[in-house]
Amino acid sequence: MTAREFEDRLDECLRSWVQDADSNASFTWPSDVIQAIETAPEPDRQERARQARTLLWLHRQVRQAPLPLPAAGFAQRVAEEFRRTSLEESRQVVPFSAGSSTRTSAKSWRARSVFWVAGSLATAVAVATLLILRPASRQQLLVQAPAPSQVQVAPPQRIVDPIRDAGGAYLALVRQVGDALGGVASVEPSDSDAKLTKGRDRAPRTELAVGPTAPRVGQVITESTGAVLDAGDDLRGAIRPVTDSAIGAFSFLWKEAPTGGKRSI
C-alpha cells in the first residue's frame, strides 16, 4: 500500500465511522490498516502510525465540537420567505391549457424562422441596391433630398425613467413604507428595483422588493386589505402584514397612476 493509498484508506475508515456511529463511540482501525502499518519498513512504520493517530485525533476533535444551530426563529423566517416567494411567483405565472406549450413553442419557432428569412432577404436587397446604384444616381438622390431648412425637426422627446423621474418622491415613499414597518436599516434603490431592508440591530432581516417592475409614484394596493391608496396617503394606516408574525413578509403591488402623470407625496 503506497502512502497515498494508505491515506485514502484512513479517510475511508473515518468516513464510515462518521456514518455508522456518533463521535463518542470508540474507534478501531480495521485489520488491513493495522497490517499496512505493521508491515511497512521501519521509518514508514512510525510515520504511518503517527499519521493514523493524528488523523483520528483531529477528526474526533472536529466531530466533538458541537455543530452550530441556527437561531430559534430561523425556520419560521425561512418558511415566511418561502411563502412570500411562492406568492410572487404565482402572480407571474400565466396559466395555459394542457398541450398549448407545444403549440406555442412551434409557433414561436415558425415566427422566428419567418423573421430570420425576411431579415436576410431585406439585407440582400439592400446590399444589391447599393452595388447596382451608380455614383450618378446616388448624386441625383442627394440633389433630390430636401434642403436642411425644409426639414422639420421634432422637439426632443423626454425619455421617462420612472425611478429617476420619481426621484426623491419615490424614495420618500419607500422610506415612508419603511417607517411604517419600523426600523429601516437602509434603502437601496437600483436601476430595476429598490430593496428596503428592515431590521432592528441584529434581528433577522426582511427584504422588501418593491415591485419587480420599475415602480411609479402612484397607487399602492395592500394585499391583505385590497385597499387602493393614492400617492401621498399615509401608508401607516394601510399597510398590513400578510402574517401576524412580527418578522412576517409584506407584499405590495405597485401600479401606475391612472393619469400616468407624476404626483408628489
209 interacts with other proteins by CB under 8 A: no
82 interacts with other proteins by CB under 8 A: yes
263 interacts with other proteins by CB under 8 A: no
Q: How far is the CB of 163 from other proteins (least distance, A)?
A: 24
195 interacts with other proteins by CB under 8 A: no
**Residues 59-78 within binding reach of other proteins (CB under 8 A):** 59-71, 74, 77-78
- Rounded CA-CA distance 6/140 in Å is 88
Contact 5, 47 (CB under 8 A): no
Question: From the list 21, 50, 96, 109, which residue makes contact with other proteins (rule: CB under 8 A)?
Answer: 50
52 interacts with other proteins by CB under 8 A: yes
Question: From the list 86, 139, 140, 192, which residue makes contact with other proteins (rule: CB under 8 A)?
Answer: 86
Q: Between 75 and 114, whose beta carbon lies closer to other proteins?
A: 75
Grid coordinates in use for 188? 437601496
91 interacts with other proteins by CB under 8 A: no
How many positions of this chain bind other proteins (CB under 8 A)?
Answer: 49
87 interacts with other proteins by CB under 8 A: no
**Region of 48-56, 94-102, 217-225, 237-245 interacting with other proteins (CB under 8 A):** 48-56
Sheet of strand 252-255: strand arrangement:
228-229, 219-222, 252-255
205 interacts with other proteins by CB under 8 A: yes
| Region at 211 (left for phi over 0; alpha for psi -120 to 50; beta for the rest) | left
Please provide the DSSP assignment of 192-249 as one string. S-EEEEE-STTSPPEEEE--SSPP-SSEEEETTT--EE-TTS-GGGT---SSSSTT--
Question: From the list 5, 21, 85, 96, which residue makes contact with other proteins (rule: CB under 8 A)?
Answer: 85
177 burial level (CB within 10 Å; 0-12, 13-18, 19+): buried
10 interacts with other proteins by CB under 8 A: no
216 interacts with other proteins by CB under 8 A: no
Q: Which residues pair with residue 195 across a beta bridge?
A: 188, 209
CA dihedral 210, 212, 218, 224 (to 10 degrees): -60
Question: Helix (H, G, I), strand (E, B), or coil: what is residue 190?
Answer: coil
**Residues 12-31 within binding reach of other proteins (CB under 8 A):** 14-15, 18-19, 26-29
Question: Helix (H, G, I), strand (E, B), or coil: what is residue 102?
Answer: helix
Q: How far is the CB of 128 from other proteins (least distance, A)?
A: 47
Q: Between 83 and 263, whose beta carbon lies closer to other proteins?
A: 83
Return residues touching other proteins (CB under 8 A). 4, 7-8, 11, 14-15, 18-19, 26-29, 33-34, 37-38, 49-50, 52-71, 74, 77-78, 81-82, 85-86, 89, 202, 204-205
